[in-house]
Structure 1
Amino acid sequence: MGYNSIYKENLFAGQNIIVTGGGSGIGRCAAHELSALGANVIIVGRKVEKLQQVASEIEEDGGRVDYFSCDIREEDNVKSMVKKIVAKHGHVSGLVNNAGGQFPAPLASINQKGWETVVRTNLTGGFLVAREVYSQSMSKNGGSIVNIVADMWGGMPGMGHSGAARAGMVNFTQTAAIEWGTSGVRVNAIAPGWVATSGMDTYPPHMKPYILSLKDAVPLKRMGTESEISSVICFLLSEGANFISGDCIRIDGAASQGSRVWPLPKAKNSHSYNGFHRATTPKIFQQAETSPDTDNNS
Structure 2
Amino acid sequence: MPYQSVYRPGLFDGQVVLITGGGSGIGRCTAHELASIGATVAIVGRDLDKLATVKSEIEAEGIAAGKVSTHACDIRKEEQVIAMVDEVLAQHGRIDGLVNNAGGQYRQPLKDISSKGFEAVVRLNLFGGFQVMREVYNRWMSANGGSIVNIIADIWGGWANYGHSGAARGGMWTLTESAASEWAPAGVRVNCVAPGGIESSGFDTYEPDAQQEILKFPPTIPAQRYGNVAEMSGAIVYLLSPVSSFVTGSCIRVDGGAPNARFCWNPPTPLANTPADKSRPFEGFHLDARPRLLTEGITKKPRR
TM-score (norm 1): 0.95
In 2, Cα distance between equivalents of 1:272 and 1:69: 33
CA deviations over 1:203-228 (Å, ceiling 9, x no partner): 11233332111001110100001000
Alignment of 1:86-101 (within 5 A): 86-101=89-104
Alignment of 1:172-183 (within 5 A): 172-183=175-186
Equivalent of 1:270, from 279, 284, 294?
279
Aligned AA for 2:165? S
In 1, Cα distance between equivalents of 2:295 and 2:114: 34
| Structure 2 equivalent of residue 53 of structure 1 | 53
In 1, Cα distance between equivalents of 2:85 and 2:18: 10
CA deviations over 1:68-115 (Å, ceiling 9, x no partner): 000100111111111111121111100000000111111011111100
Deviates most, 264-273 or 212-221: 264-273
| Structure 2 equivalent of residue 294 of structure 1 | none
Alignment of 1:205-216 (within 5 A): 205-216=208-219
| Structure 2 equivalent of residue 75 of structure 1 | 78
**Which portions of structure 1, spanning 4 or more consecutive aligned residues, are displaced by more than 4 angstroms?**
none
Q: Secondary structure at the match of 1:27?
A: helix
In 2, Cα distance between equivalents of 1:84 and 1:201: 32
CA deviations over 1:167-205 (Å, ceiling 9, x no partner): 000000000000000000000001000011011011112
Equivalent of 1:237, from 240, 264, 275?
240
Q: CA RMSD in A?
A: 0.9
- Are positions 1:20 and 2:16 aligned together? no
Equivalent of 2:121, from 118, 121, 145?
118
Deviates most, 137-146 or 59-68: 59-68
CA deviations over 1:10-37 (Å, ceiling 9, x no partner): 1111100000000000000000000001
In 1, Cα distance between equivalents of 2:8 and 2:46: 32
Q: Percent identity?
A: 51
Total equivalences in the alignment: 288
Equivalent of 1:142, from 128, 142, 145?
145
Aligned AA for 1:29? C
Aligned AA for 1:23? G
TM-score (norm 2): 0.93
| Structure 2 equivalent of residue 260 of structure 1 | 263
- Are positions 1:104 and 2:107 aligned together? yes
Shift of 1:274: 1.2
| Structure 2 equivalent of residue 130 of structure 1 | 133
| Structure 2 equivalent of residue 160 of structure 1 | 163
- Are positions 1:84 and 2:100 aligned together? no
Q: Secondary structure at the match of 1:277?
A: coil
- Are positions 1:7 and 2:7 aligned together? yes
| Structure 2 equivalent of residue 292 of structure 1 | none
In 2, Cα distance between equivalents of 1:217 and 1:141: 44
Q: Secondary structure at the match of 2:165?
A: helix
| Structure 1 equivalent of residue 302 of structure 2 | none
In 2, Cα distance between equivalents of 1:28 and 1:84: 20
| Structure 1 equivalent of residue 250 of structure 2 | 247
Aligned AA for 1:75? E
Aligned AA for 2:181? I
In 2, Cα distance between equivalents of 1:283 and 1:172: 34
- Are positions 1:279 and 2:288 aligned together? yes
| Structure 2 equivalent of residue 295 of structure 1 | none
| Structure 1 equivalent of residue 222 of structure 2 | 219
